[in-house]
Amino acid sequence: MSDLLNFLPDARWPRFACDALWQSSFIGAVAWIGLRVARPRPALHAWLALLAIATCAVAPIASLAARRSGYGLLSPVAKSPPQAVALAAAPMEAITVSSDDHSAAVRQRPGPSEADERKLLSSRPFDFWTFAAVVWGLASAVCVLRFVKSGVAVIRLTKTAVPCHDEGVVAAARRAAKQFGIAPPAVLVGERLKSPALLSWGKPRLFIPNLPQHVSQDWFAVFCHELAHARRGDAWGRLLAELATIALPWQPFVWRLRRDYYEACEEACDDWAIACGADPFRLAESLTGWMHGVNHALTQSMAGVPSGLRRRIVRLVESSGQRNPRLGTAWVVAGGILAFAASAGIGAAQARNSADEPGARQAVQARVHQVELRDPSRDEAKADTAAVPIPPAYRIESSDVLFIEVDRLAPKSPYHMQPLDVLNVAVEGALPEAPINDRFTITIGGKLNLGPFYGGIPVAGLTEEEATEVITKHLRTVLTSPVVSVELVQFAGLQKVSGEHQVGPDGRITLGKYGGIYVAGLTLEEAKAAIDKHLARYLQAPDASVTVAAYSSNVCFVIFRGDKDLQDGIARDSVHRVALNGGDTVLDALSSVERLQIPRVVKVSLQRAAQSSDEPPVLEIDWPALASGTSMTTNYRLRAGDRIILDPEVGRRELFEQMR
């Protein structure tokens, strides 16, 4: 088995596709052959077919999960020695790499030219797996459209169907519902429907075609058959079968099992109808009249649409006595265990990677930790980074501009409605000519106007529960038993908080009608917590995000000491004010000064405004090293109030002393 799996690709998507192909084919073939034995018992046949469909879809996913977790029942695949195992077994001398040799090898390796790259792109071979993925996706999309089309057909039918007023038909539906111990379902007549059907999502509803008066049907037998679908839960099974065909649209065994499941469900419901006392010959006679009237657009979303009518009619005519329509608990449990074991077993039927053998992974990790690539330039960059101190968290100051954004703007409960609020009102049992299911705006006078048939209702100052009671009480004067649902969807009195807010001289920001908050001296995290706590008095669980849009308070100064003027002998200095945006360095400040020309011989120093205990008040800056990029050790991070002093005269004097 391991040798056979050795031919499967290792890439994730091709391997998943191959697993889905062989696993679903194997399960589908075995299930299709085995289901021939369960054909005499339709209930068991339908249950096993549904489990086989689910196993075809779940087994590839279980295989993918087992492979990603490194679990497998088979011995490791005999492939080429893995690099990880070779690394774990190799001596340290064999895996020590010199950075100089590595750099030289990289420099000597010739890169491809543009002509070679164009030739490589033009000669790229056909990618079969990409083509397979596209075809798979398109086939699944077609199945999804087919499923959506059936749903649209059901929605159209529910909207166009009208209640049945035939007392005999309604009485037959009540009698059939009594056999199953459920509430009598609604009986509706569909103009475009050719055969009876059951919509079992939500409350069961029976749909019958609009037959002529002279046509006689055994409606009790028909309704017993349809309600058996709801008793068996066939709607969920059909949904699972459709999802499996969407996931594996190219697998013929899945389509065949789906067809067997549908036919077995219909035969099992025939057995239920006979067990309830229906005449099989009358039921077969009814099916004969619908032989050519099947509406195939409803088969995916409605239980009970006939399939395999000819075989069902022959089976009913040749039936002798009652059949047991129930599926025993033992069969349900045994089938579920068998499907789970098949999914887990086939999913784990793969070879373990040799790198996952006991002790191999630990050996690789221990050996990798011992390998070090020594690079002097990397060490120097690490030293330069360590020399730059990490600044403390920025604290907000006056004149800073904060950008505040609040995701949730919901008033604190209980909220009392105000004029111009928008309510979504839905009423069951409203007049057909004046339905109520729309959004309504509370007027300036505080009333909710539901139209000319119902009038206005005062709701200002009420909560949702109180408004629901008031509207229900008002509508009872017009309607018999209205069921009202009220939802507040838009608040007119909420003020937007998101936007830029400048910190005032008193250290506060103003959030409109929600008041001011003191944020000066706080970090961004502390400011967020303070804003959330303040807004929680008015809003429900606010979640604010705070960033600094403009640093208007943090500045440093660049002072250039000029030489003496030749005419008057007076030395003039130039001072430049530079705003700090957080994390700025000496080079950042010098580059932001316009028309600043720094001579090569210059004395550059940094005077701290607020020095720490372990730092001198004046820091010398190696300007030649910064300008040439040989060392960034003295490229210090700046703080508010720092002064960068450039003195050419002192620089020349120091250079002269060094030359002496």
pLDDT (tens digit, 9 = 90+) per residue, 400-458?
888 998 877 777 778 888 888 898 999 988 888 888 889 999 888 888 888 888 888 99
Least confident of 486-500, 564-578, 591-605: 564-578
Q: How confident is the model at residue 95 (pLDDT cuts 50, 70, 90)?
A: very low
Instruction: Identify which has the larger pLDDT, 84 or 562.
Output: 562
Q: DSSP states of 1-48 as a string?
A: -HHHHTTS--SHHHHHHHHHHHHHHHHHHHHHHHTTTTTT-HHHHHHH
Least confident of 120-124, 494-498, 607-611, 636-640: 120-124
pLDDT at res. 16: 82
* pTM recorded for the entire structure: 0.46
576-586 in b/e form (b: 16+ CB < 10 A) is bebebeeebbb
Q: How confident is the model at residue 93 (pLDDT cuts 50, 70, 90)?
A: very low
pLDDT higher than threshold 90 for residue 145: yes
pLDDT at res. 107: 42
Domains of the chain: residue spans and CATH: 2-77+330-353 (no CATH), 149-322 (no CATH), 401-410+495-550 (3.30.1950.10), 422-490 (3.30.1950.10), 555-659 (no CATH)
17 closest CA partner among 60, 74, 66: 60
348 closest CA partner among 592, 65, 599, 567: 65
Burial class (CB in 10 A: 0-12, 13-18, 19+), 378: exposed
Contacts of 294 (CB under 8 A, 6+ apart): 194, 195, 305, 306, 307, 309
Assess contact for 542 and 535: CB atoms under 8 A: yes
Tokens representing residue 56 in the block: 């075809």
If one counts every other C-beta atom within 10 angstroms of the C-beta of residue 609, the result is 13
Q: Distance (Å, rounded) from C-alpha 344 to C-alpha 340?
A: 6
pLDDT (tens digit, 9 = 90+) per residue, 527-560?
989 988 888 888 888 888 898 887 776 788 999 8
Instruction: Identify which has the larger pLDDT, 368 or 206.
Output: 206
Q: Distance (Å, rounded) from C-alpha 158 to C-alpha 199?
A: 9
Assess contact for 198 and 233: CB atoms under 8 A: no
pLDDT at res. 5: 54
What type of residue sits at position 275?
A
pLDDT higher than threshold 70 for residue 3: no
Sheet holding 643-647, edge to edge: 571-579, 555-564, 643-647, 603-607, 618-621
Assess contact for 146 and 249: CB atoms under 8 A: no
Instruction: Identify which has the larger pLDDT, 301 or 331.
Output: 331
pLDDT (tens digit, 9 = 90+) per residue, 166-194?
888 889 888 888 888 888 888 888 877 77
pLDDT higher than threshold 60 for residue 102: no
Q: How confident is the model at residue 118 (pLDDT cuts 50, 70, 90)?
A: low
pLDDT higher than threshold 60 for residue 341: yes
Q: How confident is the model at residue 593 (pLDDT cuts 50, 70, 90)?
A: confident
Tell me what the mean pLDDT of segment 84-96 comes to.
44
Q: Distance (Å, rounded) from C-alpha 399 to C-alpha 425?
A: 48
pLDDT at res. 144: 92
pLDDT higher than threshold 90 for residue 78: no
Decide: helix, strand or coil at residue 508.
strand
173 closest CA partner among 164, 184, 161: 184
Instruction: Identify which has the larger pLDDT, 557 or 650.
Output: 557
Q: Distance (Å, rounded) from C-alpha 265 to C-alpha 582?
A: 71
pLDDT at res. 612: 61
Q: DSSP states of 303-369 as a string?
A: BT---SHHHHHHHHHT--S-------HHHHHHHHHHHHHHHHHHHT-SBPPGGGSTTHHHHHHHHHH
pLDDT (tens digit, 9 = 90+) per residue, 507-531?
899 888 888 899 988 898 999 899 8
pLDDT at res. 276: 86
Burial class (CB in 10 A: 0-12, 13-18, 19+), 192: middle
Tokens representing residue 424 in the block: 């979504």
Q: How confident is the model at residue 290 (pLDDT cuts 50, 70, 90)?
A: low
Instruction: Identify which has the larger pLDDT, 453 or 71.
Output: 453
pLDDT higher than threshold 80 for residue 379: no
Percentage of residues of the chain with pLDDT beyond 90: 6
pLDDT higher than threshold 90 for residue 141: yes
pLDDT at res. 537: 84
If one counts every other C-beta atom within 10 angstroms of the C-beta of residue 57, the result is 23
Contacts of 590 (CB under 8 A, 6+ apart): 558, 596, 598, 644
Instruction: Identify which has the larger pLDDT, 342 or 587.
Output: 587
Mean pLDDT rounded to a whole number for the chain: 77
pLDDT at res. 569: 65
pLDDT higher than threshold 50 for residue 302: no
